[in-house]
Amino acid sequence: MLQDIIDLRRIETIYEGEKIPVIYDINLKIKSGEFVAIIGPNGAGKTTLLETINGLLDYISGEGFVFRKEIKKNKSQIRKEIGYLIQNFEIDPLAPFLCKDIVMSGRTGKIGTFRFTTKKDWDKIWYSMGLVGMIDFANRPIGKLSGGEFQKILIARALAQQPRLLLLDEPFSNLDYASKIQIETLLNRIHEKYKITIVMVSHDLNFVPVGCNRIIVMDKGRIIMDDKKEKILHSNKINDIFKNGGRK
């Protein structure tokens, strides 16, 4: 039987200084090897959910387990095995960093001044740049890439520690159609070949990768649907949510 890699039970997360939880009553199990999309309108709580899974935000009630470890007590250990693609990751176009530096920062947590990087670190960097087909860009300044190339470097960054779990926040944002297809193909390939569990956030209903067969719909801080991709995409409810949804 496949192991639950994510197991959240009645989770509520609140931002500091706020009174009302941003996400609540979150019950979610994701098994090893699944490719799941989380969709929902702006402000639904998708990023907050990813950051709760990642241990970047603490839940105030409920129980949360990732890799069968309690999230709050094992944050740094858990995070070592999670690759996280941050939403709207921005970089100064004049920043003096090369693509390989950005990918390395996925292992070291730092850009620029590195802890001692070993041959093993560099092997992993070349490996993950190879996976996204960007080895030739290793020595290019990061600020000079196209949107699609930049997104591939960020995916390589998320892959740099050979994670068991990839959390991708809007991997298709700001991309043209051709780049979306490239990223989609890449995600399908990574999932198929390496059996990495992928949880991908999107609010673009027109763009759910082929390999992803389960969709979770969030609205106003809750999970309101969780089903096979076809069922969700053909349900009438979806259009209403996207018309009226969002946290106000």
Ligand X SMILES: Nc1ncnc2c1ncn2[C@@H]1O[C@H](COP(=O)(O)OP(=O)(O)OP(=O)(O)O)[C@@H](O)[C@H]1O
- Choose which of 36, 45, 47, 104 interacts with Mg ion (CB under 5 A): 47
Q: Does 90 bind ligand X (CB under 6 A)?
A: no
Shortest Cβ 202–Mg ion spacing (Å): 10
Query: Quick one: 42 or 236, whose CB is closer to ligand X?
Result: 42
Query: Quick one: 137 or 171, whose CB is closer to ligand X?
Result: 171
**Helix 147-159 crosses helix 177-194 at what angle (to 10 degrees)?**
20
**Strand, helix or coil for residue 167:** strand
Asked if 152 contacts 122 with a C-beta cutoff of 8 angstroms, the reply is: no
Shortest Cβ 88–Mg ion spacing (Å): 8
Q: Does 100 bind ligand X (CB under 6 A)?
A: no
Shortest Cβ 39–ligand X spacing (Å): 9
Shortest Cβ 69–Mg ion spacing (Å): 25
Which residue is associated with the tokens 């991908």? 200
Query: CA-to-CA distance for 138 and 207, rounded, in angstroms?
Result: 29
Q: Does 200 bind ligand X (CB under 6 A)?
A: no
Backbone region of residue 176 per phi and psi (left: phi > 0; alpha: psi in -120 to 50; beta: other values): beta
Partner from ligand X, Mg ion, none binding residue 69, C-beta < 5-8 Å depending on class: none
Q: How many residues bind Mg ion (CB under 5 A)?
A: 3
- Choose which of 2, 42, 90, 92 interacts with ligand X (CB under 6 A): 42
- Choose which of 191, 203, 214, 220 interacts with ligand X (CB under 6 A): 203
Most distant pair of Cα atoms in the chain: their distance: 54
> Do the strands 222-228 and 214-219 form a parallel or antiparallel pair, or are they unpaired?
antiparallel
Q: Phi, psi at residue 125, to the nearest 5°?
A: -65, -45
Partner from ligand X, Mg ion, none binding residue 167, C-beta < 5-8 Å depending on class: none
Asked if 134 contacts 156 with a C-beta cutoff of 8 angstroms, the reply is: yes
Query: Quick one: 45 or 83, whose CB is closer to ligand X?
Result: 45
Alpha helices in 34-135 (DSSP H): 46-53, 75-79, 99-108, 119-131
Q: Does 247 bind ligand X (CB under 6 A)?
A: yes
Binding residues for Mg ion, rule: CB under 5 A, are 46-47, 87
Binding site for ligand X (CB under 6 A): 15, 18, 22, 40, 42-48, 87, 203, 247
